[in-house]
Amino acid sequence: MENQPNQNNPKTPLSRAGGRYENGIVLLMALTFGCLFFDRLALNFLMPYVSKDLQLNNSQIGLLAGALSLAWAFSSFFSTAWAETNNKKKIVFIIAVFVFSICSFGSGLATSFVTLLLARLLMGLAEGPVIPLAQNFVERESSPHRLGINAGILQGMGSALFGSILAPVVLVQIAENVGWRNAFYIAGAPGLLLGLIAWVYVKKSTAESAQIKEMSTLNLSELLQYNNIKWGIPVACCVFGWWFATLPFISNYFVNTQGMSADEMGKTMGLLGVSGLFSSILVPGLSDKIGRKKVILFFCGVGACYPFAVYFLAGSGAHLPVMFLTYFMMGLIPLVAAVVPSEAVPDYLKAKAIGLITGVAEIVGGVLIPALAGLLSDAVDPSAFLWIAASLALAGLAFSTKLK
């Protein structure tokens, strides 16, 4: 996995010359990514309020995270594959942005576990194709030497800046002052504007499907012939699972087990978001310089230390700084979900490869892992989710040795 331009994806002179448009696409996709994660992660940060009002236990919290991820996973692959095959990527992207923005209101209207579960399922279906298509648009317009850092900017501004830094601070303050339901309503508004901007700004050439080799919508068997797809799937499952094993439970754990106030929890989650922002740019950028495999191996090892920092350093002066550093494994998400698959396959399979890896990783890492973590945290110990995360980081390290 040397840092070389993908021979399957030679950039056209227009793409290479369009630096301004390249930067514009990266910024627009990053902002859209940000709104999506702001909406998706809102429930995690509002969970202390929602779980109290709706009387939710850890198993139900894990199922809520899993339901959204399951819907997201199927929609991510099948909607993206359909859009690629039928040359409808732009229209699918724009409709999905509008729908997930509207769906954010559904979470605010929930009155029970069942209605909240339905709202999250609908949101997952709408959000599924947005990330693979956004990554595909960015990859299409990226200069070869900027692919890693552009994917990192997308992840950094998206899930880190909006989803992990602004969301916990802003949403907790809204919930404290005007209630958690209003926080969900406010979270859904910006996506509508970005959908309109994407409608006008994204060029036809950016979203146009490459010439397909066969009249097939899925190309599953062909995709699995590529080494970095075959082994990239379990690596992505472990990286996603490491993140999702902790994400639905960590705010509750900080408040109910480690005794943080709501304000302290919000600031701690915001600090982890800053770590996610830095890592999402620095880690993929580093991989542009020294290669993808070396970076994935190293930061899987770093991420295995994060649960130990959360558990053993609580209350000490080292708690926050060590959590900040070990959370840098989050920077692997754009690598394993977008860069590795897009570099592994020819043009006509790129969007499908991203959708496949994202979809499978969402099912395993975002559905099964949170459900298991919730059950064990209820049945064994409230910290059980942390040890699941540590195990997944080590498994990801082992699988990544098979990458080329």
pLDDT at 367: 80
Angle CA 257–118–79, to nearest 5 = 110
pLDDT at 326: 97
Domains (range + CATH), the chain = 15-209+217-400 (1.20.1250.20)
Handedness of CA 139, 142, 146, 149 (dihedral sign): negative
* Alpha carbon distance 288, 148 (integer Å): 6
pLDDT at 15: 40
pLDDT at 347: 81
Cβ-Cβ contacts under 8 Å for 14 (sequence gap 6 or more)? 205
Three-class SS state of 186: helix
pLDDT at 12: 45
pTM: 0.76
pLDDT at 303: 96
Query: Residue 7 corresponds to which tokens in the numbers above?
Result: 């021979």
Per-residue confidence in pLDDT tens, the chain, 404 aa: 544 444 444 444 444 445 889 889 999 998 898 888 888 878 878 888 888 899 888 778 878 877 887 888 888 888 888 888 888 899 999 999 999 888 888 888 888 999 999 988 988 898 889 988 998 898 888 887 788 888 888 877 766 777 767 777 788 888 888 888 988 888 888 888 999 999 999 988 888 876 554 445 667 888 999 999 999 999 999 999 999 899 888 988 998 899 888 888 878 887 888 898 889 889 998 998 899 999 999 999 999 999 999 999 988 889 999 999 999 999 999 899 989 998 999 888 888 898 899 889 988 987 889 889 988 988 899 999 999 999 999 999 999 999 99
Instruction: Name the DSSP letter for residue 214.
Output: S
Cβ-Cβ contacts under 8 Å for 97 (sequence gap 6 or more)? 32, 35, 36, 130, 191, 194, 195, 198
* Alpha carbon distance 345, 339 (integer Å): 11
* Alpha carbon distance 254, 306 (integer Å): 14
pLDDT at 323: 96
